[in-house]
Structure 1
Amino acid sequence: MAVIFKLSLSYLSRNKIQNALIALLLLLSTLLVSTATVILANTGNQFYEMHTRTHGSHQILTFEKGLNDPDAVHNWWASQDGVQVSPLLTYRTFSGIILNETHIPNIYLYMFNTPPPPWGVDELIFSSGTPDTVPEQGSVWIPTSMANAYHISVGDTIGFKTGSSTLELNVSGIVIDVPYGAPFSNTARVWMNPADYQHDLATLAGNENRMMGIHFNDYSMNSVYWERYNRETGIPFLESKMEFEAIASFYLIINQVIGFIMIFMGVVMLSIALMTIGFTIADAILANYRTIGILKSLGLTSRKTIGTYVIQYALISIVAIIPGLALSIWISKWIINISVSSLRVGNQNIPVHGLDAAILSGVLLFALVILFTVLYAKKARSIQPVQAIRYGMSETDHGRMAGKMNSPWAHWIGFTRLPVTAVLGFRHVFKNTKSSVLTLLLATMASSVLVLGYVLLTSITGIEQTAAKWGYDNANIAAVVVNKGNFPKTVLKHTLEEDTRISNAGWQGNTTGVISPESSATVKGQSLSLNLSVLDGSYQELGFETLKGGNPQHANEIALGVSVAKTSNKDLGDLIDIYIEGEKRTFLITGIYQAIANMSVSGRITIDAMRSVNPGYSEFDVIFINVNDMAQAGKVASELNEQFKDFASVVTQKTLLDSVYAEAANILIYPMSLIGLLFIIVTFIIIFSTCRINIRKESRTYGIYKSLGMTSRQIRLSLTMGMFILSSVGAILGIFVGVYLLPLLLEMVLSGYGIVQLPLILHWGGMVLFTCLSIIAASLGSWFSSRIIREASPRMLVIE
């Protein structure tokens, strides 16, 4: 045993740099795999725990259209067993805030008359500020999502536009408001002092609206309650209803995307790490072939020979995995705190679960290293002392190695017609097949990761270019109505018609449709509610897209979101019965589209379809506007916003989308940068390690080259050129993997959120630039590993 241990220590001390690089590679593999494990283990935990802690709503009912009596609905639900309801909250809608003398237009606010506690549902938890029953006079409570997005702290003053004047209120509390506190949301609930509300808002023109939250003891029974509601009241619920899935979706989507990408890349990196360890062991055995042969001739058994490598890599693994686990826990906490920052209480870190899973992944990694060590070290069993001493390898391997460069493949390439430096570079690549395949695979994966990260961030930051593919319109300007009671529709319509800069406009409203169980493939006895978009205008002109078919043009046509089409088992050309405001209408499905809003649980109908049910329908929420000259969009939006600022918020499409998705890009950039950096480091480490092994194996050959007149620089450039060409081929393959293969895997995650075809923006220049990072890393790894050629004399190289 002492002999085995001493041999293991000698291997460790003799190849310090190589063993240190393998340890670093294992550390990084542990870091990525364990971090991904913790993130996946925590996906949804923080949200569900906070939802339980606040007794959060499963459904939010909003009364803005006057189609249902809020008091009657509230009383019915309050009387049900197994259901809790919030107080009937009174609010007015505002648009935009003034912060530090800067006007921020694209944030939509529900200004609430705060009721005294207890509420029973959606209890607020203070992240900062002093808890109280209601806000103090002259102050408001705002949600963490709004505070984080605009960097607002307790004590700051926010200005709210109330017609021609501005209402300034201090922030006395920042609260966790689960239903309206998701990240990258541009809608927030602001809680006012009752006296301030009565004095400053109750006298304003327009209607007050009502809202209530419903919490089910068993959420799966919600459809049973709604069936009972429809049966007992005789009046279907026709106002807006926000489902629990919509509340949860934006809390979960970022962590699921990050976790999915990290676990996939972690598995890839782990596979490469294990392959590298196996390759290193195999070549270490080959490099020490004569020594092992001599030791076996002196009585060292095969089992003890294998044991020397097991001890060596067990020590390396222990040194690498333990700090890797510690770093992974720290990094996973950092990423989780960023991605669900709206659920943090004060400066406290969000409790992280799954640490046992991270430790288990470390133990599994250690076991895999030992297993691969044994599997590859078993090659030492076949070493024959006589062949080892004579050839430095088995006689079979010696013959195969000698014949490689004389193969028809080598003649086809035409080595005899190439410069000597090129021949040397290609010889290094073709002779060391295993390391070349590993290099090709590594360059491909590193390039694909960098390209995917770049494409994802580019696609999110430039989402205005693909807005229609995410389910939004593609109009140049959007006017969001915030004061429906006094909204001067006729004046705005006349203004739009008279302005020669405007090419067309469309007026969009929303209503709720219900698909009965008889018309769908849903669970028996359950109906399906969907958000129906009602457009007075042309879907085509405003840029709404579909995956299949087209948008509706007539009163009997409808386009369905992919989630609805899948749930109801409907396709193009099918008929579907939908209840709108309690009346049954039969529609022909003309198109199927995807939309991240409402998770594709939605549909599109024309204004004619809506007016066949309600002839006086005029509840429009948004006006989409196209201009003749895109350069004029900002100016037109600014002028319209100033003219109708008391009733609507008018912004360009880019402003509207950036306010929602800029935060998503900011959250994604950190983990994607981390993954990309790790793959660049790993590429360098593996190429350095494998090239160093190969150079040591052929030290005698390079000594002969130097003795014949080649300089160390020429030899090193030749080796680096071969690695540059090989990694370039891998990088080119990586571009296609990152653009066409990895997004398919990501779509598996996003399909649950209504996106089945990920809209990507491809800037080939940027992709090539990021791909070059993997090529540079591989080339530098090869260049630095060949320093031993420069440092050794020809005589010493030949002696080795």
Structure 2
Amino acid sequence: MLLHLLKRDLYKKKSVTAILFIFILLSTLLASAGTNMIRELVSSMSDLLVKSAVPHYVQMHSGTLDERAIERWASDTQLVDMHQIVEMVPVEGSHLYLGHQDTPESTSVMDFYFVRQNEKFDFLLNLSNERVEVSEGEIAVPVFFMQQRNLSVGDRVRIVHPKFIREFTISDFVRDAQMNPSIIHSKRFVIHPADYDFLKQQAGGVEYLIEFRLTDAGKLGEFHTLYQASDMPKVGPSIDLNMFRMLNALTDGVIAVVLLLVSLLLIVIAMLCVRFTLLSTLEEDYREIGVLKAIGASRRHIRSIYLVKYVALSAAAALCGFAASFPAMQLMSSNITLYLGQAERGLLYIVLPLFSAAMMFGLLLLFCTMVLRRFHRISVVEALRSGSIGEAKVSGRRWRLNRNRLLPIPVFLGLKNVFQRLRMFGLLFFVFVASAFLLLVPIHFLNTIKSPDFVSYLGIGRSDLRIDLQYSDRMDERFKSTVDAIRNDEDVERFSPLVTSRFRLLNDDGTVDQLNVETGDFTIFPLEYVQGGAPIRDNEIALSVQNAREMERKVGDTIRLIVGGKEKTMVISGIYQDITNGGRTAKAAIPHDPESVLWYTISLDLKPDVDLQTKIAEYEKAFEPAKVTDLQGYIRQTLGQTIAQLRNLAVVAFFVSIFLSMLMTALFLSLLMAKDRPHTAILRSIGFAHRHIRTQYVTMSLTVLIAGIVTGTILSNTIGQTLVGAIWSLLGASGIRFVIEPVQAYIVCPLILMLAVVVTSWIGTGSARRINIAEMIKE
């Protein structure tokens, strides 16, 4: 009997059943795929870190060093298990040609380092996550350039140096556990030891990675304090295992979390749809339920009649979603596979998504059971007498038709329906709010991260051009000559030279740490500060959000630096956001330390009539090997990988939102029309045409949609902005403010949603043509 009732109900409500099936399938698919994506990310990253034997702590260094002193210090430090000094030969982008490119990498913000394969640890891996090995004349290129420059095995890499020309054949691609993400500007190319010796001899200049693996990775903080307090080389940034993990996982991890959040949103919507469908069914079958109770049917038996449909529907949809999650996960995790590799697929590959699907099914089943408790409140006498549950209504005096002078009657009746049945339309309103939120947040953040104003989250002020000079021999002289040349350039409207050097920081507990401080005038190209303002006096300093958080400092507090060999108390004037260099930077108007310079930068604005690209080419030639980039290019290269993933997410979110709105509108109107059949039949009998009925339902949908869009827009600009800021606070940008394109956000997107809902409403109400009073009397 239950099987017969199930078949009859499915046949009777084919469209409603199909829509519910799709909702449950989508929520299960996204939950299973998101769970599996997190598993893939964690497993692949762990596999990469293990197989590469990634260092626990790395100190980059430019300049001379004493290897024996490092050896002695490492041997005397009990926390150190192994250490090694890795040499890297830097090659300027203006000398490097990748693949079939006819132009050098002059405009790239990346630093190109040529290295040998390491012997002890920090192995550079190929696409099979095996130690990459190259023959003489061959080269292994980072996967970043494989993706960005569309390179393949057999392509050429040329170094055109004033002293020599060297050509390599690409034999493999490199996964580098340290330098994979685009936000890390250093990239390592692997060449044969013989080729390396040639480059080292001819190109000159070597930089170092001083790497350590500890006996206990949990003591990284203790080791960091020890190293920074020592007299070991420190002319360069330091980075540790925790930062490697976060930077490798950030982009794809965010996508996976978003998938899980969307799946939860969809299952909530599915629950609300089931609730609405069940209540509509109970409304239709109220008299029949009363008859069943009167003849002695138990509540449990009656409930099972209604529950069996949703058990079967949910189980089928959950299984389909589970099966579909595997190809979907393959598509969504392509970036993980490229940069981290594909980890071994054990039992968890099946168990985790199956558990997610079971959770979705269990939640839905539990919710159905809770809704069906209404059977306890159904009275046999009331059901047989009235045949209807009844519905509370708002006072009709506010919506008297004889007082309407402005609106067409179908529009007036549609508005009256919405405001008198607000609780019923709450489901549709919730879905439209969710759709607008889901649509706008990714678009807002994509516009934000592509905006020139996003440089404020990179710890730099907005300007037309940026010139970067890495530290090397006689770089101080070259920096001064570059500044003089820019000062005398009539095309330059204003400029600001800045120097980043390392200062000793005296902690409250008496230990000594190191602090990277950028010095110069920060009023020319001002930053946006979360708190306070720019350092102006020579005893003021501004800290990045990450530094302020770790030091537990706020505006007005003090820190102690060693400046010019003397202790100097610095007052914190402001706190700013910075996602570069691990988010640990500072800015002050004090003289830089020539002995510990890390890099030099010059920001400048050109006069309005000066062509930007022409000036870039001119400066590249004049200031070689300096990197000259416009700010938009700097953002694109630094966050290119994140922007690409975010663009894909925005496209998917757009179509999901439109599809969700259309699906929900179709479901809601289908159930609403079934509920309102007697009312519609009466309207048809007194002369309302089919188009008038349609207009009434379209008015209902549009009214709820407009309210949903307005609410969703407000939530996306507030809660959405807060959520994005919470995720990016991990990198040091806690106060993200959306850059909103008004035409796109407030005109184009709402119009597309409205068009989709109007079309769905118009098509979905086509069945109203078949409703007439004669049919209702027969029923």
- Aligned residue in 2 for 1:150: 149
CA distance in structure 2 between the aligned counterparts of 1:771 and 1:164, rounded to whole angstroms? 60
Secondary structure at the residue paired with 1:317?
helix
Quick check: 1:428 aligned with 2:426? Answer: no
Change (3 A) 1:30 1:223: closer
Distance in 2 (alpha carbons) for counterparts of 1:349 and 1:139: 30
CA shift digits 1:215-265 (9 cap, x unpaired):
22322323444555577x656745532233433332122133223333333
Which residue in the other structure is 1:241 paired with?
A: 238
**Whole-angstrom CA distance in 1 between matches of 2:550 and 2:543:** 11
Letter in 2 for 1:391: S
Any idea what the Cα deviations from partners look like across 1:453-509, whole Å, max 9, x if unmatched? 1111111222x2331244223221112225733553344233212211112333333
Separation of aligned partners in 1, 2:448 and 2:415? 39
2:447 to 438, 455, 458: 458
Say whether residues 1:747 and 2:725 are aligned partners: yes
Letter of the 1:277 partner, please give it: V
Residues 781 and 392 (structure 1 numbering): CA distance in 2 closer, same or farther, change over 3 Å?
A: farther
**Deviation, structure 1 residue 795:** 2.5
Alpha-carbon distance in 2 for matches of 1:480, 1:392: 80
In the alignment, is residue 472 of structure 1 matched against residue 460 of structure 2?
Answer: yes
Q: How far apart, in 1, do the equivalents of 2:103 and 2:463 lie?
A: 26
1:95 and 2:81 are equivalent in the alignment: no
Superposition deviation, residue 747 in structure 1: 1.9
Determine helix, strand or coil for the equivalent of 1:724: helix
Select 1:575's aligned residue among 533, 542, 558: 558
How far off is 1:596 after superposition? 0.7
Q: Residue in 2 aligned with 1:261?
A: 258
Alignment CA distance shift 1:508-1:162 (3 Å): farther
* Match in the other structure for 2:769: 790
Contact kept in structure 2, 1:246 and 1:598, CA below 8 Å = no
Which position in structure 2 is the counterpart of 1:522? none
Matched residue count: 771
Tell me if the contact between 1:699 and 1:798 (Cα under 8 Å) persists in the aligned partners: no
Among candidates 500, 512, 520, match of residue 490 of structure 2? 500
Any stretches of 5+ residues in structure 1 without a counterpart? 520-524
Q: 1:282 aligns with which of 276, 279, 283?
A: 279
Residue of structure 1 in register with 2:114 after alignment:
112
SS at match of 2:463: coil
Alignment of 1:193-212 (within 5 A): 193-204=192-203, 207-212=205-210
**Quick one: percent identity of the two aligned structures?**
18
The separation in 2 between residues aligned to 1:114 and 1:751, in whole angstroms, is 36
Residue pair 2:415, 2:703 contacting (<8 A) in 1 also: no
Amino acid at match of 1:559: A
Q: Any conservation in 1 of the 2:496–2:603 contact (CA below 8 Å)?
A: yes
The secondary structure found in structure 1 opposite 2:264 is helix
| Residue 391 (structure 2) pairs with residue 383 (structure 1) | no
Contact kept? 2:23, 2:267, Cα under 8 Å: no
2:531 maps to which of 544, 548, 564:
548
Compared with structure 1, are the counterparts of its residues 302 and 773 closer, same or farther at alpha carbon in structure 2 (3 Å cutoff)?
Answer: farther
- How far apart are residue 420 of structure 1 and its match? 1.5
Distance in 2, matches of 1:131 and 1:574, equals 49
Tell me whether 1:637 sits opposite 2:613 in the alignment. no
Indicate if the aligned counterparts of 1:562 and 1:600 stay in contact, CA closer than 8 A: yes
Residue by residue over 1:145-177, the C-alpha shift from the partner in whole angstroms, topping out at 9 and shown as x without a partner, is 232222222211123342486543221221211
Query: Does the 8 Å contact 1:58/1:219 carry over to 2?
Result: yes
CA distance 1:469–1:796, change in 2 (3 Å): same
Q: Which moved more, 1:174-183 or 1:278-287?
A: 174-183
Quick one: structure 1 residues 623 and 221, their matched pair in 2 at CA, closer, same or farther if it must change by over 3 Å?
A: same
Equivalent in the alignment of 1:361: 356
Distance 1:457 1:639, change over 3 A: same
* Alignment map for 1:17-28 (pairs within 5 Å): 17-28=15-26
| Secondary structure of residue in 2 paired with 1:629 | coil
C-alpha spacing 1:514/1:280, structure 2 compared with 1 (3 Å)? farther
CA contact (8 A) 2:466 2:628 kept: yes
For the structure 1 residues 414 and 278, does the alpha-carbon distance in structure 2 shift closer, same or farther, using more than 3 Å as the test? farther
Instruction: Give the CA deviation at 1:43.
Output: 4.9
Cα gap change, 1:382/1:480 in structure 2, threshold over 3 Å: closer, same or farther? Answer: same
Normalising by the residue count of structure 2, what TM-score does the alignment of the two structures yield? Answer: 0.91
Within the alignment, does 1:563 sit opposite 2:552 as a pair?
Answer: no
Structure 2 equivalent of residue 64 of structure 1:
62
Distance (whole Å) between structure 1 residues aligned to residue 23 and residue 598 of structure 2: 61
State the AA in 2 paired with 1:21. Answer: I
Cα pair 1:139 1:192 within 8 Å, conserved: yes
- Partner of 1:534 in structure 2? 519
Higher mean Cα deviation, 761-770 or 621-630? 621-630
Tell me if structure 2 keeps the 8 A contact 1:108–1:186.
yes
The AA in structure 2 aligned to 1:22 is: L
Q: What are structure 2's unaligned runs of at least 5 residues?
A: none
Conserved 8 A contact 2:41-2:336:
no
User: Is 1:126 matched up with 2:116?
Assistant: no
Measured in 1, the distance between the counterparts of 2:89 and 2:6 equals 74
Structure 1 residues 350 and 143: CA distance shift in structure 2, 3 A? farther
Counterpart among 75, 83, 86 of residue 85 in structure 1: 83
Change (3 A) 1:427 1:602: same
1:559 Cα offset (Å):
0.6
Q: Deviations over 1:326-358 (max 9, x none)?
A: 22233233222325631126xx99889565333
- How far the C-alpha of 1:382 sits from its partner, in A, is 3.2
The match for 2:300 is 303
Give the CA RMSD over aligned residues: 3.0
Q: What are the Cα deviations for residues 546-599 of structure 1, in whole angstroms up to 9, with x where unaligned?
A: 222222233322111112212222121222113469864321111111111134
Give the drift of 1:669: 2.5
Q: Deviations over 1:573-627 (max 9, x none)?
A: 222113469864321111111111134322112352x35xx5x777643222222
Q: Which residue of 2 aligns with 1:333?
A: 330
Deviation at 1:138, TM superposition (A): 2.2
2:178 partner SS: helix
